[in-house]
Structure 1
Amino acid sequence: MSDTLELKIEEWLNWDKNEHTIREITALRDEGNTVLLEKLLMSRLEFGTAGLRGRMGPGYSQMNDLVIVQTSQGLASYVDEVFGSDAEELGVVVGYDGRYNSKRFAELTAAIFINKGIPVYLYSQVCPTPFVPFALLHFKCVCGVMVTASHNPKDDNGYKVYWNNGAQIIPPHDKNIQEAIMKNLAPLDCSWDTSIIDHSNLLNDPLPAVMDAYYSIIQDCILYPNINANTPVKFTYTPMHGVGYPYMLQAFNIANFKPFVVVEEQKDPDPEFSTVEFPNPEEGKSSLELAIKTANENQCTVILANDPDADRLAVAEKSKTGDWRVFSGNEVGALLGWWCLYCYREKNPDADLSDVYMMSSTVSSMILKSMSKVEGFKFLETLTGFKWMGNKSHELISEGKTVLFAFEEAIGFMCGTAVLDKDGVSAAVQTAGLVAYLKTKGLSLTDKLNEIYLKYGRHITLNSYYFCHDQTVLKKIFERLRNFKGTPKTYPDGIIEGKYKIVGIRDLTNGFDSTQPDQKAILPVSSSSQMVTFTFNNGLVATLRTSGTEPKIKYYTELCASPEEQNEEVLSTTLNEMVEAIVQEFLQPEVNGLIPRSS
């Protein structure tokens, strides 16, 4: 065992106050397990724009009490540096989900800010992630922390940070916070004492005020309360073992709906996620088996599903033949985009749409872009992640613009701007309102989606991913695409021996964009992540990117057809042919040892 590792072990045992993680590190030392100890102690989780997210366990490279203490000390120091006395006046918001250790991590965070003289709005019970950015804006706080790993496996947890504009942090805050963490690694004795939150006058529970304010906005956004009250449609809802149930119950009540049928087995927070292999409704039918069973038993025709921290929404509908259709995030985005525009026009019949905006991320469907060309509102494309859409929304609002809707294909939806992030609760109640309205017209969600495609053009997508645990392989794949003809910035010019030609290339890793006059990308560039988009002459857009939180290489493809091209079978055949070629010619999964999603 090296001297450096021995010093790190001694440092950990001196700093850590959690008997479980102390015991685990001690046992590994006594076993002489230097390989694992080096993995746990010689590298650390780095704070990024997604904050922290990782497996729970001992060591600086995992999520545990000590890492949370160090992170919160760094964040509190940075907040103090940026906001000074304003932080002591305005405070911070802290929330947590139902995972193992989430409440503990939240209380440690709260104690550290209180010890620095900064007031804390700490939720008294588990809450949806969107309740943190909502409370942040409501109370005009300087920042917010949500302890959650969203839909990750049960062994993971995370630490998500919002800034005073109500949106997730973006550069340079992430790097500045990381630097502040590294300057504040030694834990103060008071940082471990969570008893301070039991008697400090700097601690407040935001829940009562947030419930009143949030649901007042929900109520104001309901277009047809009478239609909701009288709809014959029955809904099944699942919170996927997460936090959503009581909050969705209240949302349905405020919106004038009859109560939904909850999936009893998944109703309450369960850190084991005992009925699902992956607590992620984005996985489709495999994650909704119990919801479908419950819906069938109770004659429900629509399923609404939140992920465990209730910021995402999945939607499924029963067809007349009894089959269930689980809508993709892009399809729900098209439906909610249409509905948000319809509601806005009904409430503002004389509105000028030239200052009205909708947006989606670069890996999501461009259906809103197609709608904007017909309807006259503005469309914006952002980088992947709601942090970009939230910050852009704040910027637009500051300029006096109206932001109606934003979405991402990973079933994330922002209806309005009460929350500058994805919000599965408001999205669910808006979806239910759309369903109820369509029922009065004799239409289903599927019928409405087809109407949208008839008017704006059929947009069909095919997205998936491969697992790859070797970062050097991922880099090699993308460097090959950037040097396709042997010299830099010589990308492929087509697939299937030129059958489909590439007419545009945007590389947001190095900033190259062939469609711009100066060949420089307009969207922000990040050399720390891999992302290349190819546009083909027949309207196909394909983006290849690495995941920021998982060992995956993802591909997102969409064929954007004109309204005249409505033969879905022909379009699907073309899409499948092209995606297969892109995968084989660009990713070369067999050559690079990539593991298919289904494996």
Structure 2
Amino acid sequence: MDAAKEWLEIDFHVPTRTVVQSLVEKADTASISKMFVPRIAFGTAGLRGPMGAGYGNMNHITVMQCTQGILAYLEKTLGSDEVKARGVVIGYDHRWSATGVDSEMMARTAAAVCVQRGIKVYLFSSMVATPLVPFCVKHKRCAAGMMVTASHNPKDDNGYKMYGANGAQLCEPHDKSIAGLILEHLKPWADYGTAIESVRDSPLCVDILEEAKDAYFKEMAASLCHHAQDNAVSSLPIVYTAMHGVGAPFTARSFEAFKLKPFFTVSEQNDPDPSFPTVAYPNPEEGKGALELSFSKALSVNSPLVLANDPDADRLAVAELQDGGKWKIFSGNEIGMLLAHWLFRKAVEKGKSPNKLAVVASTVSSKMTRALAEKEGMRFEETLTGFKWICNKKFDLQQEGYEVILAFEESIGFCCGDLVNDKDGVCAAAVFAEMSVQLYKAGKTVSKHLNDLYESYGHFISRQGYVLVPNPRLTVEIFDKIRNKSNYPTSVGPYKIAQVRDLTTGYDSSTADNKTTLPASTSSQHLTFTFENGCIANLRGSGTEPKLKYYVELHGNDPAKVTETLLDMVKLIVITLLEPELNGLKWAGVE
């Protein structure tokens, strides 16, 4: 009740004040507790959660408090004068809630905090694809960037993602420092009510939309387009869906920058719509269900290729029509391999030395790109899951003189070249389309080309899925049971385990000192089992969704035998280690 009364003293937004005031008057402590406890925490990629009143949700107050903590961190690490001189960039998507707390309002709230602090703000004048924010951090040499978006989360959610001065998301321990400073700066630094409404009129608030777009697409074409003439005359029809998000105008312009012919749109999903009316989950990674309308459109225009962005356009999904009329939805690992090989070829054609090229991938992603890098003489680096780790490693490699041609993770996130330091579905769509034009020009499908890559680098077959775990404490219990007080399992069914790595405790049986080379974190759950037959299984708790995810990969020369063994192992790993039936959980099975 005290938290609710405190809220009423600082909330300047009538709809949310009304909600909380009504609960206080009714003394509805149960609803108040649900709304205010626990406080939404700054963690993976910043804030993310349901929109609504209260400290436990995404709203203007929690964004205000978070922004104050972020600015306190920036002033502490860079100095107040440096932060003011460099400024910050703020973008937003189209998310909306019935209380009127939408993405644009939260972006204006963050901007008002900055302006009241005397800090210059590059605030986009309309909704943008997420990659424009990290690009603008680099382009304007900003101290930081913030993006209000929940990416592909369900419609009731929103989020607040932060980028550091290098254009990448912050890693530990910096995120923990910000979390602590947020708690130290919960009280408003100023009366923001009027400032939020008029922030765009401030001389410290600059609209960066047109400048950022022009620079972004110019740099994209200059660094990543290689066949503009062929693109311009290609007869390959491509279908694209924005999944009710903000991506359509940005991806259309990326095609224009590459001289590609315009794609065919899925009209029902082309315009931003925060209710996501045609999909249960606005995530193209979900597969066929999310892409059904795209397939129908493709058949109607005789297109063999579908590209899809998630709602904030930082991810890319791809599907291709196969002989017999079925659609192949490429996994994130397959797209990553296709892009890595393509970007490698283009770099070598430009005369670049392979030993100065690098590929970065998360530890749960396919090891096929590692095989590519090793065979072709490139450097390969593995990181923890998440682009905050991936792109900070990319930045480190760049400081060593390497050109990172691709950084990716299996959850359809791809960073091509040096355009941004985050995943970018807008750029990846144009790069993939150009590659496809060249393949089809040569009489090859994307699927046939992928099979050729398997023949060259090995048949790496993988399966991913998840168990729905609504209670985070249950996730910890499941992992603790697997650990069995450090008596890790030695086999799963007939398959013997050769190595165990625990990125929660820091244990690794494959090293001389039994310590992991990757950073360990007690705040997340992540186990890796390497089997004697070469299979690698990663089990981890999601940082953004109520899921316990599994990633299993096996490689060999005979794809049929590899697939048969892999599917058997996935079932045994999930049933034996995660025990979904025993824990009363639902899991996404294997095909």
TM-score, normalized by length of structure 2? 0.96
Matched, 1:549 2:550: no
| Whole-angstrom CA distance in 2 between matches of 1:71 and 1:456 | 46
Letter in 2 for 1:551: P
CA apart distance, 1:29:
2.7
Q: What stretches of structure 1 move > 3 A for 4+ residues in a row? A: none
Matched, 1:373 2:369: no
Q: Render the CA deviation track for 1:548-586: whole Å, top value 9, x for unaligned.
A: 11111111101122xxx12x2221110111111111111
Letter in 2 for 1:596: W
Number of the residue aligned with 2:491: 494
| Whole-angstrom CA distance in 2 between matches of 1:362 and 1:595 | 25
Number of the residue aligned with 1:198: 200
Letter in 2 for 1:94: I
- Equivalent residues, number: 581
| Whole-angstrom CA distance in 1 between matches of 2:212 and 2:25 | 50
| Whole-angstrom CA distance in 1 between matches of 2:245 and 2:158 | 13
1:592 to 570, 583, 587: 583
| Whole-angstrom CA distance in 1 between matches of 2:169 and 2:145 | 9
Number of the residue aligned with 2:99: none
Q: Which runs of 5+ in 1 are unaligned?
A: none
1:182-221 matches, cutoff 5 A: 182-192=183-193, 193-220=195-222, 221=224
- The SS at the match of 1:592 is coil
Q: Render the CA deviation track for 1:413-437: whole Å, top value 9, x for unaligned.
A: 0110110110001100000011001
* 8 Å Cα contact 1:112-1:190 kept in structure 2: no
Letter in 2 for 1:197: V
2:92 to 96, 103, 113: 96
Q: Which runs of 5+ in 2 are unaligned?
A: 97-101
After TM superposition, the structure 1 stretch with the greater mean CA deviation from structure 2, 548-557 or 137-146, is 548-557
Q: Render the CA deviation track for 1:365-418: whole Å, top value 9, x for unaligned.
A: 111111112111011110000111111111111121111101111000011011
CA apart distance, 1:472:
3.0
CA apart distance, 1:9:
2.0
1:51-200 matches, cutoff 5 A: 51-84=46-79, 85-100=81-96, 101-192=102-193, 193-200=195-202
Matched, 1:238 2:249: no
* 8 Å Cα contact 2:5-2:24 kept in structure 1: no
* 8 Å Cα contact 1:150-1:307 kept in structure 2: yes
Matched, 1:458 2:454: no
CA apart distance, 1:596:
2.4
| Whole-angstrom CA distance in 2 between matches of 1:347 and 1:217 | 17
| Whole-angstrom CA distance in 2 between matches of 1:447 and 1:540 | 25
| Whole-angstrom CA distance in 1 between matches of 2:390 and 2:492 | 32
Number of the residue aligned with 1:338: 341
| Whole-angstrom CA distance in 1 between matches of 2:233 and 2:4 | 65
Matched, 1:479 2:480: yes
1:289-368 matches, cutoff 5 A: 289-348=292-351, 351-368=352-369
1:520-539 matches, cutoff 5 A: 520-539=515-534
Identity %: 44
| Whole-angstrom CA distance in 2 between matches of 1:293 and 1:403 | 37
1:26 to 21, 24, 38: 21
| Whole-angstrom CA distance in 2 between matches of 1:473 and 1:395 | 36
Number of the residue aligned with 1:10: 5
Number of the residue aligned with 1:413: 414
Letter in 2 for 1:8: A
CA apart distance, 1:58:
1.2
| Whole-angstrom CA distance in 2 between matches of 1:92 and 1:263 | 35
| Whole-angstrom CA distance in 2 between matches of 1:163 and 1:198 | 23
* 8 Å Cα contact 1:235-1:301 kept in structure 2: yes
* 8 Å Cα contact 1:360-1:382 kept in structure 2: yes
1:560-579 matches, cutoff 5 A: 560-561=555-556, 565-566=557-558, 568-579=559-570
Letter in 2 for 1:214: Y
| Whole-angstrom CA distance in 1 between matches of 2:337 and 2:380 | 13
| Whole-angstrom CA distance in 1 between matches of 2:142 and 2:382 | 29
| Whole-angstrom CA distance in 2 between matches of 1:67 and 1:336 | 39
| Whole-angstrom CA distance in 1 between matches of 2:323 and 2:232 | 23
2:509 to 497, 507, 514: 514
CA apart distance, 1:502:
0.8
Letter in 1 for 2:302: Q
Letter in 1 for 2:211: A
- The SS at the match of 1:236 is strand
| Whole-angstrom CA distance in 1 between matches of 2:384 and 2:229 | 39
Q: Let me know the Cα RMSD of the aligned residues.
A: 1.3
- The SS at the match of 1:591 is coil
| Whole-angstrom CA distance in 2 between matches of 1:173 and 1:36 | 34
| Whole-angstrom CA distance in 2 between matches of 1:231 and 1:360 | 32
| Whole-angstrom CA distance in 2 between matches of 1:183 and 1:524 | 27
